[in-house]
Amino acid sequence: MAASAPDPALLARLLERLGPRGFTADPRDIEPWIVDWRGRVRGKAVALLSPADAGEVADVVAMCAAAGLPIVPQGGNTSMVAGATPPADGSALVLSTRRMRAIRAISVADGVAVVDAGVVLADLHAAAAAQGLRFPLSLGAKGSATIGGLISTNAGGTQVLRFGPMRSLVLGIEAVLPDGSRIEGLSALRKDNRGYDLRQLMSGAEGTLGIITAASLRLVPAIGRRAVAWVGLSSPQAALGLLRRLEAATGEAVESFELVPGDALELVLKHIPDTRAPLTGGHAWHVLVEATAPQGAADPADALGVVLADAIEAGEAADAAIAASEAQAEALWRLRESISEAERIDGMAAKHDVSVPVSTMPAFIQSARVEVEAAFPGTRVLAFGHLGDGNVHFNVRAPAGVDGMAWLAGEGASISRMVHDLTVAADGSISAEHGIGQTKLAEYLRLADPARLRAQRAIKAALDPQGIMNPGKLLG
Ligand code: FAD
Ligand code: MLT
Ligand code: ZN
């Protein structure tokens, strides 16, 4: 059903408040921001708003609220679930934080950064490093993903093992609620028990409860030395055994432990320029391990080398290489972080982001793979990612020669139901770190506990009674 045309007077008032840099209704300007990162979901937007600061956000949200005009908050538009893509009926506008990029303050004494929501993750990394500190969350989209988007999806990434997901690094938020009122919560406090925790409520809310305009974030001391290794092994079970061996020997030194199947490495080597295999000989599975140590502590490569040698001796690992330089370490990380891009180039896949208890993940990967590939001949499972967190991207590649989008809507949807049913049967979650957005919505509504949904809908109705914040996402 086509949405009713927006009131031209409202659009004129929005333009007047934001100026020409902050408002466009030209479809050519809007075009890049109405398609999701994977290029699978296309929406339509009345206009693209790009406010410069929190005051502008509050004013335009109040104007939209008064008119009942829906708003889709958008940061870097790297959502894996089309969370920042507007609805197809053209009923909403997109509000982008792209112009809100100030790093307001970094306090070395408190280990806190206060940043605008539109700050890109890599820019925060650089700013923290310049002060001898670190923001300990990273992921492949770090060059585009913003702080507001990372909080709103409660993003995971590759350091969750040691530092937890995004919400564990958020000390406070400043936000505009759906009625245009503002929460001023840029706290530097490590402890604060004044009732319901609004910063945690906004973390993972996927833009459905308001617009985050800034956040105060926890920083940790910069890494003194790091050791990055690439290990070839025979199974996810062997990989988990290696993780436990590493933890026993090095305590909390291991902060990343990423599972890479042989097929994923092949895709990266095929599609991503200037990449090469770190080990000779094909291995069915690999892991990328990063261990770190503070300034002045022993080189973590020493302990890592000893444990890897023991693991090879015990038959748990087949081969391993430890990066001998920062350039080599970066090259290993590039292999891991390019998997999504290589997969996107290669063709269609039904993508899943599942978690189960860590100890059961290896068996889950093996048995679910056998079941899916047997039920859907010609498909191939590519399960990669955050094994140490009990979270893998259990992606199922389409058979050769099919029409990708038609396959995704038909057989792909049946596959997703099967993967999610298996996940629920294993006491898992169908969204470990990407959120629900649009693409997981039907499955979430099919599988969620009714009491959980009722509680989530009550929160949504209390804060956004008109339902104008990111309609069609998370709860429908
Ligand atoms: P967007 O995509 O713009 O938005 C995401 C959601 O947040 C939407 O619902 C949007 O409405 C909302 N939103 C955005 N900004 C605000 C705001 N200021 N206030 C309120 N709501 C807002 N995720 C992981 O968890 N782990 C990974 O390892 C990982 N790797 C990735 C690798 C690649 C190559 C890519 C493309 C994505 C990856 N992601 C990963 C997905 C991840 O969700 C995003 O990268 C990131 O969290 C989204 O940030 P963004 O600024 O692009 O947000
Ligand atoms: C990753 O871990 O690389 C991401 O979450 C991206 C993906 O799922 O494709
Ligand atoms: Zn991931």
pLDDT digits (tens, 9 = 90+) for 214-234: 999 999 999 999 999 999 999
> For residue range 370-406, what is the model confidence (pLDDT) as tens digits?
999 999 999 999 999 999 999 999 999 999 999 999 9
* Distance from the alpha carbon of residue 168 to the mean position of ligand 2, in angstroms: 20
Domains of the chain, each with CATH number or no CATH: 8-96 (3.30.43.10), 103-221 (3.30.465.10), 225-340 (3.30.70.2190), 347-434 (3.30.70.2740)
Tokens matching residue 174: 């400043």
> Whole-structure pTM over 0.90, yes or no?
yes
* Distance from the alpha carbon of residue 434 to the mean position of ligand 3, in angstroms: 8
Determine the atom of ligand 1 nearest the C-alpha atom of 175: 19
Q: Is pLDDT larger for residue 4 or for residue 451?
A: 451
Mean pLDDT, range 70-85, rounded to an integer: 98
Determine the atom of ligand 1 nearest the C-alpha atom of 433: 25
Mean pLDDT, range 449-454, rounded to an integer: 97
Report how far residue 387's alpha carbon sits from residue 360's, in angstroms, rounded to the nearest whole number.
Answer: 10
Beta strands in 129-253 (DSSP E): 133-134, 170-176, 182-185, 211-218, 220-221, 225-233
Tokens matching residue 393: 């991207």
**Structural contact between residues 140 and 150, judged by C-beta atoms closer than 8 angstroms:** no
Determine the atom of ligand 1 nearest the C-alpha atom of 152: 7
* Distance from the alpha carbon of residue 385 to the mean position of ligand 2, in angstroms: 7
Q: What is the predicted pLDDT for the residue at 260? A: 98
Which ipTM was obtained for this model?
A: 0.99
Report how far residue 17's alpha carbon sits from residue 95's, in angstroms, rounded to the nearest whole number.
Answer: 14
User: Which residue minimizes the CA distance to atom 2 of ligand 2?
Assistant: 385
* Distance from the alpha carbon of residue 264 to the mean position of ligand 2, in angstroms: 12
DSSP alpha helix (H) spans, 222-360: 236-250, 262-271, 300-313, 326-337, 339-346
Residue 4 predicted with pLDDT over 80: no
> For residue range 112-157, what is the model confidence (pLDDT) as tens digits?
999 999 999 999 999 999 999 999 999 999 999 999 999 999 999 9
The values of phi and psi at residue 223, to 5°, are -65, 135
Q: What is the predicted pLDDT for the residue at 3? A: 62
* Distance from the alpha carbon of residue 386 to the mean position of ligand 1, in angstroms: 17
Tokens matching residue 325: 């330089």
Residue 363 predicted with pLDDT over 90: yes
Band the pLDDT of 344: cuts 50, 70, 90.
very high
385 in contact with ligand 2, CB cutoff 6 A: yes
DSSP 352-375: -BEE--GGGHHHHHHHHHHHHHHH
Band the pLDDT of 200: cuts 50, 70, 90.
very high
Residue 190 predicted with pLDDT over 70: yes
Count other Cβ atoms within 10 Å, centred on residue 67. Answer: 16
Q: What is the predicted pLDDT for the residue at 1? A: 43
Q: What is the predicted pLDDT for the residue at 252? A: 87
Residue 392's DSSP bridge partners are: 354, 385
Q: What is the predicted pLDDT for the residue at 251? A: 87
Task: Indicate which ligand has the atom closest to the C-alpha of 124.
Answer: 1
Q: What is the predicted pLDDT for the residue at 5? A: 75
473 in contact with ligand 2, CB cutoff 6 A: no
Find the distance separating the first CA and the last CA of the chain, reported in whole Å: 16
- If one residue of 74, 173, 353 were mutated to test the ligand 1 pocket, choosing by the most ligand atoms within 8 A of its CB, it would be 74
Encoded amino acid at 1, one letter = M
- Report angle CA 335, 338, 342 to the nearest 5 degrees: 115
> For residue range 273-322, what is the model confidence (pLDDT) as tens digits?
999 999 998 899 999 999 999 989 999 999 999 999 999 999 999 999 99
